[in-house]
Each structure stands twice: as C-alpha cells, then as structure tokens.
Structure 1
Amino acid sequence: MNIQELFLLALMPVLKTLLIAVVGLYLALDHVSILTAEGRHHLNNLVFYVFFPSLCASGLISSSTETGLFSLWFVPVSILITFLVGSALGWILVKITRTPQHLHGLVIGCCAGGR
C-alpha cells in the first residue's frame, strides 16, 4: 500500500462522520425550520445512541480479522487498568480535598475516564 491509499483509507470514516454532522447542522438551523426543538432533541439522541456507534463499529468490523482481534487483547486490558487506577486516584483526591458529597461521583468518574 502506498501513502495515498493509506491516507484515503484513514480519511473515509472521518468524511462520513463530517457529512453526517453537516447534514445535522443544516437541519438544526432555526431559519430552515424543518425540526422543532423537541424533534432536534430526539434526533440528537438517535444519532448519539444509535447511528454514531453503528458507524464506528462498521468501520472497525470491516477492517478487522480474527487473528487481528486476538493480537489486540491488550487494548481492553489497558482500558480496564486505566479506569481502575483513575478511580483509585479520584477516590484519593475526594478524600484529600474534602469534596462535597454530591460531587463525589462526578470527581471519581472524571478521574476514571481520564478527563
């Protein structure tokens, strides 16, 4: 594979995502008046929970093989370790800084996610 083929292979998922975002942006404009505020909210939830994960999964599935999946075993393991270490550091931060009770989950969750 030459550099142009690799570039196009990497560019196609990004272009698909940008195309969906541009169409959604156009539909969300107030002067277009295709959707109401409630309709935009429902469409946003549909895209966020259904279409975008489907788009990401279709790109991954089409480029993965059985041996490739077994060779990437460290990815979920490293994610698990990251969340465990982040949660522990978040819990320590909550105890040291005496964060208010209603913010404990937010602080620990942000630290676990690496935010």
Structure 2
Amino acid sequence: MELLLWFPGLLLIVVMVLQVFSYAWARETAHNAARYGAYHARILGGTNEDGRQEASTYLSEVAGTLVQDPSIVVSRTAGRVDVTITARPRQIPLPGIDLPRFSVHASGPIEQFTAGS
C-alpha cells in the first residue's frame, strides 16, 4: 500500500534526473561541436563555411536528436575565429516544464604561415 503512495513521486524524481542529465549532455555535445567547428575554421586555408559545416556534421552524427534546432554562427576577426551554437535540448514531455535554449561558444587563433629565418 505504501508503494502506491511513493511510486509516483519516485518516478517523477527519476524522470527529472534523466532530464537534467539529457540537458547537460546536449550542452556538452554542442560545446564539442563548436570546438570542432572552430578548429576547422581556424586551420590554414579554413573558411567560416568549413567551420559551420563541420560543426553541423558533428551535431548530426554525434548528437542525433539530442540537440534540436541548432543555430551555428561562425565569425572571424583579424586573428581569431569564433563559433557560437544556440540550440535546445531534447525534452522529456513533462507538463509545466519547458527547458530553455542554451548557447555555447568556442574560439581560437587563426593559423598563419610565417617564413622561417
């Protein structure tokens, strides 16, 4: 009889823990995709489109449906490249809970060839 009283609460706690884990995993995967895109955009001869394409490919292959509606922005200044991914995590359908979008960022210096002396 006590199990009937406690089971719905325990089930809700388990689902909430899974949702927190899913959110953290989606954010970490998106951050890895941003770093991967920044790497490909900053290498010698790399372009912003290379970085965007590689980050998008990483997300589709590694994250699958874990990261939803990603927006990938690659920008370049004189010596740096920045990749920002904004997305939302996959959500377990719980009434009244709406997970916020997250944004992750990665950057690095642009590789340049210098002649040796």
**What is the TM-score of this pair, normalised by structure 1?**
0.35
Higher helix share: 1
